Amino acid sequence: MTLVASVDKEKSHAEGSKAPFSRDHHKIAHSNFSARPVPHTHTSMEQALDKSLKAAQARFTGGLSPIALAAAYSDWALHLSSAPGKQLELVEKAIKQATRLASFTTLCAQNPDTDETCITPLPQDRRFKGESWQKWPFNVMSQAFLLNQQWWHSATTGVEGVTEQHENVVEFSARQILDIFSPSNYPLTNPEVLAQTYRQGGMNLVRGWQNFIEDASRMNAGKKPVGAEAFEVGRNLATAKGKVVYRNHLIELIQYAPTTDKVRPEPMLIVPAWIMKYYILDLSEHNSLVQYLTAQGFTVFMISWKNPDAEDRDLGMEDYLSLGVMDAVEAVETITKQQKIHAVGYCLGGTLLSIAAAAMAREKDDRLKTITLLAAQVDFTEAGELTLFINDSQLAYLENMMWDKGYLDTKQMSGAFQLLRSNDLIWSRVIHDYLMGERTEMIDLMAWNADATRMPYRMHSEYLRRLFLNNDLAEGRYQVSDRPIVISDIRAPVFMVGTERDHVAPWQSVYKFNLLSDTDVTFVLTSGGHNAGIVSEPGHPHRHYRIRTKTKDESYTDPERWAKETEMTEGSWWPALAEWLAENSGEPIKPPRMGAKAKGYAPLCDAPGTYVFQE
């Protein structure tokens, strides 16, 4: 018995497109998200007034709830005010650090060339790495800032009685405020900027001002960053040859042309995240995972998600599951005439694929031969700093903001992600582009990152509440077709990839799949971040990874011990994935045809399709 009971394929090929897809068509038995706290479709005049007011506020707060922030600071301040021991500890730390800084300043005055320090920056903090920062008076400035930063970390953490999330919010926001006043951000206290200004007679500041005006003008006009025009989808991005063989209201399904004489019998379906355009996995010709896999003899299909607008406000997780994954699975099976599929999910697409796989496994639907999850989480208890923005107060505020438009805007999403890595994504750009007067060279990954998508009101609310806030999937409460699903029902072997510097899906959180699964799991930990670690083609310099397989009968190994005991391998992890897929595939056969016109899957247009161009 398959999860999809029946399909009524009413397709129109007029002007190369299919008829609008009915939302009641091809549902997984109309998945019941019982008791889901979805915002009301019908609102009273009083409720509409509240929602409109909060939506207006959100435009000035960047989507952050002032009430949630005030609650966190009140929790911290009240508990700190009633903890004289903690206060005394902070006073002692302040005196010790002031003494250390005074001693260091005296040493520098006596020996300006000293290489002594009184505090070392964290490994990921590269602001003061330059040689000029080690000379007086800039070494004193940087050391004073780092000591101040350390003291505030002590002040905002370890206060007994403060809830963990409130502590994290206060520590995070204090760090953001302190970063504003870093000496590296100002021309008179940054020796590298001063040297550049002296060499160029101030022209770097002139260029920097011009860069700032240009960036501000582009942002206000809704244009992409400078240099992004050099990258064009279909020309030097998303260039893998293929055809759109299926289209509904939510997805276009791309079938890629074979590049080998024979292919593995099992086709591959890739489910990308819908928060960005799909072509992160078909970036440029040299770093396209799609082109790499077709070259290894696999038949590859990819979902391209629609960029939703206000009319799609009521699309929910059930729609993404049925119109997305399940429609694509059926199309792939029909076109290739194969009952077994290699499924790959990236980021949110991996979470959705996990939901689909668990639901299929519950119904004894064994069409997924293997599952590959790339930087994807199923347990959200340690989902990184994104959880700072996830509580009832913040989500209610976010829902009101989305209610106003019917979707989450791309600017609101990108702003939240930039805050998580403000030193790398905000202040480093201020220094490089505006103070040094230089332009960061645009690359394909940056151009893709600027091509964001919106997210429907209902889906995003359901996703954040049911997965991030309530952790329903990991705890067995996530319902599909009126019944809960569990990850432990999945029996297909799983290949998982986490990245070392992932701020969106920390690898330790990705690794938690091992706690929930009852199947063989091959886990890979690779260098890089959430995106760059996945786009890690063979030949990419400075790449390494660790890999180990845990069978379902083996005992659990915690992530820290796993990383310590697993040997590091230099290079890209892509060949390891191709080898694993080959081991789980049949002998090569003749490639399938593009589409299946007789069965309602006639090719509609060339890849990359039409949905990818929606602004």
Cα 595–Cα 598–Cα 601 angle in degrees, nearest 5: 35
Q: What is the identity of the amino acid at 568?
A: M
Q: Which of helix, strand or coil describes residue 484?
A: strand
Q: Tell me the mean pLDDT in the region 30-46.
A: 47
Task: Determine which of 161-170, 380-389, 417-426, 565-574 has the lowest per-residue pLDDT on average.
Answer: 417-426
Residues 250 and 158 in one domain: no
| Domain co-membership, 273 together with 152 | no
174 found inside a domain: yes
Neighbour-count burial of 335, counting CB atoms closer than 10 A to its CB (0-12 exposed, 13-18 middle, 19+ buried): buried
Task: Determine the Cα–Cα distance for residues 206 and 204; give it in Å rounded to an integer.
Answer: 5
Mean pLDDT throughout 165-180?
91
Q: Same domain, yes or no, for 253 and 176?
A: no
Question: Measuring CA to CA, how many Å separate 612 from each of 88, 251, 435?
Answer: 58, 10, 36
Look at residue 309 and tell me if it is in a domain.
yes
Residue 424 has pLDDT above 90, yes or no: no
Q: What is the pLDDT of residues 323-337, one digit of tens each?
A: 999 999 999 999 999
Give a yes or no: residue 34 inside a domain.
Answer: no
Catalytic residue among 108, 118, 347, 605: 347
Active site (annotated) includes residue 347:
yes
**Number of independent structural domains in the chain:** 2
Q: For residue 9, tell me if it sits in a domain.
A: no
Domain stops at, among 183, 203, 218: 183
Q: Could you say which of 135, 158, 183 is where a domain stops?
A: 183
Cβ–Cβ < 8 Å for 409, 455? no
Helices (H), 471-573: 507-511, 513-516, 559-565
Is residue 409 very low, low, confident or very high in pLDDT (cuts 50, 70, 90)? Answer: confident
User: What are 256-307's pLDDT values in tens digits?
Assistant: 999 999 999 999 999 999 988 999 999 999 999 999 999 999 999 999 999 9
Question: So what's the pLDDT on residue 35?
Answer: 35
- For 346-404, write each residue's pLDDT tens digit: 999 999 999 999 999 999 999 999 999 999 999 999 887 777 778 888 888 788 778 77
Confidence of residue 587 (pLDDT cuts 50, 70, 90): very high
Q: Which domain holds residue 442?
A: 242-613
Tell me whether residue 406 is in a domain: yes
Note whether residue 298 is domain-resident.
yes
Give the Cα-Cα-Cα angle 319, 323, 328 (nearest 5 degrees): 145
CATH number for the domain harbouring residue 291: 3.40.50.1820
Contact of 306 with 611, CB cutoff 8 Å: yes
CA-CA-CA-CA dihedral for 413, 417, 419, 420, to nearest 10: 150
Give yes or no for residue 112 having a pLDDT over 90.
no
pLDDT at 395: 82
Among the candidates 137, 162, 183, a domain finishes at 183
Which band of pLDDT confidence, cut at 50, 70 and 90, is reported for residue 1?
very low
pLDDT more than 90, % of the chain: 71
DSSP string, 315-362: --HHHIIIIIIIHHHHHHHHHHT-S-EEEEEETHHHHHHHHHHHHHHH
The verdict on residue 55 lying in a domain is no
Task: Say if residue 133 is in the same domain as residue 249.
Answer: no
Can you give the pLDDT at residue 412? 62
Of 33, 25, 32, which Cα lies nearest the Cα of 6? 25
